[in-house]
């Protein structure tokens, strides 16, 4: 059902470097580049992720209660994404671990303060 998600940034070069390095861990790459943003994914017909300078020209801000979840296929990849995000300057919001019902996840914030998680089932 999800086609793509976008998060706002106030520093597109910094955000794009963060996500280039982060998404390399799971084999995603840049699929589209615009003057105001960049989108990553594994294929154009699969869900994607983008960062954009806000269209209205106002500063980007973090949405309270907003989080983007990145599904991966192993606990090792959850751990690798979390570690990479922190190594790139992201902030820890919850170490990798089981959260119940076979849901294995780790939480972090990007350089703009946007909250993300990486998860797998099992």
User: Residue ranges of the domains in the chain?
Assistant: 4-53+67-121
Confidence band, pLDDT 50/70/90 cuts, at residue 4: very high
Tokens read off for 68: 């983007």
The confidence score (pLDDT) of residue 7 equals 96
Confidence band, pLDDT 50/70/90 cuts, at residue 27: very high
Angstrom distance (rounded) from CA 78 to CA 101 = 16
pLDDT at 100 over 90: no
pLDDT at 1 over 80: no
Q: What is the CATH number of domain 4-53+67-121?
A: 3.10.180.10
Confidence band, pLDDT 50/70/90 cuts, at residue 15: very high
Percentage of the chain exceeding pLDDT 70: 100
CA distances from 80 to 10, 18, 35, 87, 114 (A): 26, 14, 30, 10, 19
């Amino acid at each position: 059902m999800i086609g793509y998600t976008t998060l706002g940034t106030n520093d597109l070069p910094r955000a794009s470097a963060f996500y280039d390095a982060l998404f390399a861990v799971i084999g995603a790459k840049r699929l589209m580049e615009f003057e105001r943003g960049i989108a990553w994914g594994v294929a154009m017909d699969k869900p994607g992720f983008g960062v954009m300078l806000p269209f209205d020209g106002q500063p980007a801000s973090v949405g309270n209660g907003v989080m983007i979840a990145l599904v991966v296929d192993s606990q090792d990849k959850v751990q690798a994404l979390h570690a990479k995000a922190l190594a790139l300057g992201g902030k820890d919001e919850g170490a990798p671990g089981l959260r119940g019902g076979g849901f294995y996840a780790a939480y972090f914030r990007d350089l703009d303060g946007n909250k993300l998680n990486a998860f797998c089932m099992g």
